[in-house]
Amino acid sequence: MNLRHLWKPLIVLSAAVTSGGALAADPQVDVRTSLGTIRLELYPAKAPRTVENFLQYVKDGHYDGTVFHRVIDGFMIQGGGYDTSNRQKPTRKPIPNEAQSGVKGGLKNEVGTIAMARTADPNSATAQFFINVADNTFLNWGDPRSDGHGYAVFGKVVSGMDVVNKIAKVPTGPGAVAPRDVPRQPVVIESMSVVGGK
Amino acid sequence: MAGELFVSDLHLSESRPAANEAFFGFVEGPATRARALYILGDLFEYWIGDDDLATPFHAVIAGFLRRLSTSGVEVHVMHGNRDFLLAQAFCEASGARLLEDPVVVPAGGVPTLLMHGDTLCTRDVDYQAWRSQARSKDWQRRFLERSLQERREAILALRQRSREAVKAKPASIMDVDPGAVEEAFRRHGVARLIHGHTHRPGHHVLEVDGRRCERWVLPDWYGTGGYLATVEGSTPRLVRFS
């Protein structure tokens, strides 16, 4: 039997669903913060392990009650690691850095993109992330000014960029977790959830 | 070693993190060095239609395959008895090509018959009846017209019934029928067959009409998982993850 023939109706059906836009393969996540909601779109085809890791933390509720603890206007806002009592939350083991395949797929540290934070070790990202508020090309794999490894972008803000910019502009100074760039009033991630998730 | 790799019966599901982690390691490791990856059915624990790509877990799995296919490794997917509704949108998201069942491809330079394996279990009459119903255009159209939630519930109910039915069947019914295997070798004129489905990994040598034929059965990923590797000029190698 010719299976191609058998599958024809399904292909037509799939095409119909796709044209309606209901078949987005790129997951979206709502980040509800004390200053408003940011909606992220994630790109598993270009950074699968990073997206999988981030979604697992979302699902586990890891980010609920964490803060943006490092905020630098004109650069980025970083969060997802500390709770409101400035305690570092436990994480799973680090993931490999996908900055290279991301850049090759077109994911760069541009305004509104989200990337994984890490230490000097290129493969040390766990839960902390940052959202770029400038085109930070020096964070891209392959950029001559990069550290040779780059920071892995895995999604971007699709709505709520005004909230991101509002966070970027909050007054900062020395705090419990760092000697500078810590918001004077905590900016809290109240919850994160997958849009349309079960 | 740019040969071919064969896997089946991964049964990936959000609730099975160990298998998922093994899959991520596999597609980022051995699979990147292959010419082609053949997934011979049941990549997913179940697939209720391509619109279920909206489930982030499914999008992530498709994403891993997409990166592999973008890097130049051919990715082929055959339907299994759990994910026979994989279709065009999944192929677009993953970069995979849908394989017919059965199909003959060159593997290690040898014409090789690939099957999921369920059609070889001809003694399981109940299952074969269900299979022919579920593969009909009418059944699939009616099923896909239902909401995702209704389909999910229907599949869960079906799996429960299937588990009970399997318990009641003798093990021999669940394995391939030797006559069906011989017939497959005869009809396709090949001397090598690779399939999964039975969860009885191994290498079987048999004689069909005076010809030496070999049948390789792939391991499932409920346990440690593994794959079969073929390279031109070498005997296929069954690799089990430790």
Q: What is the pLDDT of residue B158?
A: 84
Checking if the pLDDT of B105 tops 90, the result is yes
What single string gives the DSSP state of each residue in B150-183?
HHHHHHHHHHHHHHHHHHTS-HHHHSPPHHHHHH
Query: Looking at the domain assignment, is residue A51 inside a domain?
Result: yes
Checking if the pLDDT of B119 tops 50, the result is yes
For residue B108, the distance in angstroms to the closest alpha carbon of chain A comes to: 26
Does A52 lie at the interface with B, CB-CB under 8 angstroms? yes
Q: What is the pLDDT of residue A4?
A: 33
Residue span of the structural domain in which A167 resides: 25-194
Average pLDDT over residues B151-174: 80
Looking at chain A, which residue has its C-alpha nearest residue B56? A27
Q: How would you list the strands of the sheet with B97-99, edge to edge? A: B97-99, B74-78, B36-40, B4-7, B226-230, B237-240
Q: What is the pLDDT of residue B1?
A: 58
Give the ipTM of the model, two decimals please.
0.74
Q: What would the pLDDT profile of B35-76 be if each residue is shown by its tens digit?
A: 999 999 999 999 999 998 989 999 999 999 999 999 999 999
Average pLDDT over residues A55-74: 97
Rg value, chain A, Cα: 18
Q: What is the pLDDT of residue B114?
A: 98
Question: B111: pLDDT confidence band, cut at 50, 70 and 90?
Answer: very high
Does A49 lie at the interface with B, CB-CB under 8 angstroms? yes
Number of domains in chain A: 1
Q: Please report residues of A whose CB lies closer than 8 A to that of B140.
A: 9-10
Checking if the pLDDT of A20 tops 60, the result is no
Query: Looking at the domain assignment, is residue A36 inside a domain?
Result: yes
Q: Which amino acid is at A121?
A: D
Q: Please report residues of A whose CB lies closer than 8 A to that of B88.
A: 7, 10-11, 14-15
Q: Where is average pLDDT lowest: B165-174, B192-201, B221-230? A: B165-174
Q: Please report residues of B whose CB lies closer than 8 A to that of A105.
A: 67, 70
Buried b (16+ CB within 10 A) or exposed e, A107-119: bbbebbbbbbbbe
Q: What is the pLDDT of residue A3?
A: 35
Q: What is the pLDDT of residue B159?
A: 82
Average pLDDT over residues A33-40: 98
Cβ A17–B50 below 8 Å, yes or no?
yes
Checking if the pLDDT of B169 tops 90, the result is no
What's the whole-model pTM score?
Answer: 0.84
Residue ranges per structural domain of chain B: 4-240
Q: Which of B21, B27, B53, B149 to mutate to test the interface with A (most CBs of A within 10 A)?
A: B53
Closest partner CB to A13 (pick from B63, B135, B144):
B144
Q: What is the pLDDT of residue A11?
A: 35
Q: What would the pLDDT profile of A148-180 be if each residue is shown by its tens digit?
A: 899 999 999 999 999 999 999 999 999 999 999
Query: Looking at the domain assignment, is residue A4 inside a domain?
Result: no
Closest partner CB to A14 (pick from B66, B70, B87):
B87
**Cα B234 from Cα B231, distance rounded (Å):** 6
Q: Nearest-CA neighbor of A192 among A70, A37, A51, A88?
A: A37
Checking if the pLDDT of B170 tops 80, the result is no
Checking if the pLDDT of B110 tops 50, the result is yes
Query: Looking at the domain assignment, is residue A152 inside a domain?
Result: yes
Average pLDDT over residues A109-136: 97
Q: Please report residues of A whose CB lies closer than 8 A to that of B59.
A: 25-27, 44, 51
For residue B168, the distance in angstroms to the closest alpha carbon of chain A comes to: 32
Token pair 């699979």 in the structure block, residue: B31
**Cα A111 from Cα B138, distance rounded (Å):** 49
Q: Where is average pLDDT lowest: A68-72, B33-37, B151-155? A: B151-155
Give Dmax (Cα) for chain B.
53
Let me know if domain B4-240 sits in CATH 3.60.21.10: yes
What single string gives the DSSP state of each residue in B55-101?
SHHHHHHHHHHHHHHHTT-EEEEE--SS-TT--HHHHHHH--EEEPS
For residue B170, the distance in angstroms to the closest alpha carbon of chain A comes to: 30
| SS3 state at A17 | helix
Percent of all residues in chain A with a pLDDT value above 70, rounded to a whole number: 87
Does A23 lie at the interface with B, CB-CB under 8 angstroms? yes
Q: What is the pLDDT of residue A23?
A: 41
What single string gives the DSSP state of each residue in A111-136?
TTEEEE---SSTT-B-S-EEEESS--
Closest partner CB to B89 (pick from A3, A4, A23):
A23
What single string gives the DSSP state of each residue in A80-99?
EEEETTSPBPP----B---H
Q: Which amino acid is at B180?
A: A
CB B4 within 8 A of CB B108: yes
Q: Please report residues of A whose CB lies closer than 8 A to that of B101.
A: 3
Checking if the pLDDT of B26 tops 50, the result is yes
Does A60 lie at the interface with B, CB-CB under 8 angstroms? no
Does A43 lie at the interface with B, CB-CB under 8 angstroms? yes
CB B180 within 8 A of CB B113: no
Cβ A196–B60 below 8 Å, yes or no?
no
Query: B187: which 2 tokens?
Result: 């009809």
Q: What is the pLDDT of residue A189?
A: 98
- Which has more pLDDT, A11 or A112? A112
When the pLDDT of each residue in chain B is averaged and rounded to a whole number, the result is 93
Closest partner CB to A55 (pick from B51, B53, B60):
B60
Domain with residue A87: its CATH number is 2.40.100.10
